[in-house]
Amino acid sequence: MAAKKDWAGAMRPLLRKYKGQKHPLEYHDVYQLLVMVVLSARSTDVHINSIAPTFFSEYKDMQALSRADAKDLFPYLRGVTNFAHKAQWLVDIARQLKVDGNIPLDLEGLTALPGIGRKSANVILREAGRPAEGLVVDLHTVRVATRLGITKEKDPQKIEEKLMKVLPRQEWDAGMAMSFLGREICRPKPLCEICVMRKECAYYKKIGPDTLKKTKHASKK
């Protein structure tokens, strides 16, 4: 029987590169972070960053947001995927919490709020500097985790469960680190030749450097 791979050791180059790096969402406090995380589901961080200043000039805090109706938010959410539902979730959250100081900073409290699942809650906890209760598993993390060979699962929750088993808690920032790698390097068309995880990657070992060279050469023709 083959020995189990030491993923805690294998992840060290990735964590050295990305551990603690701020999320691409350009928030200024926990209220803004929560709102932007809710809005960013299935929308790009770049787009959410672009609409945030106007949104927050009108809805400066949870108290101001609690006085709004969902439809009041629509003009500020142009281009946001599923904006109507997200607007309702945000208003419902604001009416429930009333003020910024009531924003829960634990996984159970956050996931009890409308529109916030484990991935979103883990992002909020990470960016708020709270102890990790899980790992951020977004679409980039899913791609990287399967390419590395950590798991064959495609379901984010099952991937998170696997990562929680193979990594010590103090290295659970690897979820977000894999997300950064997926955004920058391990894209749908990966830049394997400059990847810090190349030596540990099942995908790279399978396709091999010769295949990459041929693909790169063909793309230049």
- Per the structure, the complete domain to which residue 87 belongs is given by 30-127
In this prediction, what percent of the chain has a pLDDT beyond 90?
A: 91
| Domain CATH number, residue 108 | 1.10.340.30
**Which residue matches tokens 């990459």?**
212
Q: Is the pLDDT of residue 8 over 70?
A: yes
pLDDT of residue 208: 73
Q: Are residues 74 and 55 in the same domain?
A: yes
Q: What is the pLDDT of residues 156-172, one digit of tens each?
A: 999 999 999 999 999 99
Is it the case that residue 2 has pLDDT exceeding 60? no
Indicate whether 111 and 143 sit together in one domain: no
SS3 content of the chain, % helix, strand, coil (to 5): 65, 0, 35
Predicted confidence (pLDDT) at residue 3 exceeds the cutoff of 80: no
DSSP assignment, residue 98?
A: -
- For the residues 72-96, what does the mean pLDDT come to? 98
Residue that terminates a domain, selected from 77, 99, 127: 127
- Is residue 120 domain-shared with residue 140, that is, in the same domain? no
The answer on pLDDT for 221 being more than 50 is no
- CA 184 to CA 201: how far, in whole Å? 16
C-alpha triplet 156, 157, 159: angle, nearest 5°? 65
Which residues touch 57 (CB under 8 Å, ≥6 apart)? none
**What pLDDT is attached to residue 171?**
96
| Angle CA 198–40–38, to nearest 5 | 125
Q: Whole-angstrom Cα distance, residue 80 to residue 100? A: 23
Mean pLDDT of 191-212: 87
**Chain segment 41-55, per-residue pLDDT in tens:** 999 999 999 999 999
- Is residue 50 assigned to a domain? yes
The pTM (predicted TM-score) of the whole model is 0.91
144 and 197 co-located in one domain: yes
Residue 197 included in any domain: yes
